[in-house]
Homo-oligomer: A and B are copies of this chain.
Amino acid sequence: MIIRDANDEDLPATARFFRTIVAAGETYAYPEDLDDREIADLWMERPPGRCVVAVGDDGIVLGSAKMGPNRPGRGAHIATASFMVDPAAQGRGIGRALGLEALRWARERGFHGMQFNAVVETNAAAVHLWQRLGFAIMTTIPEAFEHPQHGRVGLHVMYQRF
């Protein structure tokens, strides 16, 4: 598995698991039923940000991450990032590899920290992964995410300083 910058040819595969993940409704507060162009606008982040894909040995896109400044202007020294792994490829360390790459990139670019604005508290695998990679739960906004099975659950704000 390698991680490389995303290009336009990665859009169909990325859009496929993007839709699957958003429709499952367990991790992201994105709109459903977006077309490929809207998904590209939302996910395939451009400079000063970046979008990468994790690609398996057979060339198949298994996951993706976008990263960039969390805010413009006077907040642009703190990074943020978002991650998606094809549900069919979970459990293979792809999320961890994408997380490490986002942190490496943000450090290299001179960001002073990374903030996740909305990590669904019931997404235990993600919460634990980010904690292992150095993020702390700064607060939890209660009932801020409508989970299809658990009802309204909290959204963590997570942060790590570099």
In this complex, how many residues of chain A approach chain B with their Cβ under 8 Å: the count is 35
Check A32 for interface membership: any CB of B closer than 8 A: yes
Number of copies: 2
Q: Which of A12-20, A22-30, A87-95, A100-108 contacts B (4 or more CB under 8 A)?
A: A22-30
Check A157 for interface membership: any CB of B closer than 8 A: yes
For chain A residues 29-44, which have a beta carbon within 8 Å of chain B?
A: 29-32
Per DSSP, are chain A's interface residues mostly helix, strand or loop, or mixed? Answer: strand
Check A75 for interface membership: any CB of B closer than 8 A: yes
A113–chain B nearest beta-carbon distance, Å: 7
Check A145 for interface membership: any CB of B closer than 8 A: yes
A7–chain B nearest beta-carbon distance, Å: 26
A30, B72: Cβ atoms closer than 8 Å: yes
Kindly identify which residue among B76, B141, B146 contacts A159, using a CB–CB cutoff of 8 Å. Answer: B141
B73, A32: Cβ atoms closer than 8 Å: yes
> Which B residues lie within 8 Å of A147 (CB)?
74
B139, A72: Cβ atoms closer than 8 Å: no
A29, B74: Cβ atoms closer than 8 Å: yes
Given A118-B71, A157-B157, A76 and B141 contact (CB-CB distance below 8 Å) = no
A30, B141: Cβ atoms closer than 8 Å: no
A117–chain B nearest beta-carbon distance, Å: 7
> Which B residues lie within 8 Å of A141 (CB)?
78, 113, 115, 138, 157, 159
> Which B residues lie within 8 Å of A110 (CB)?
none
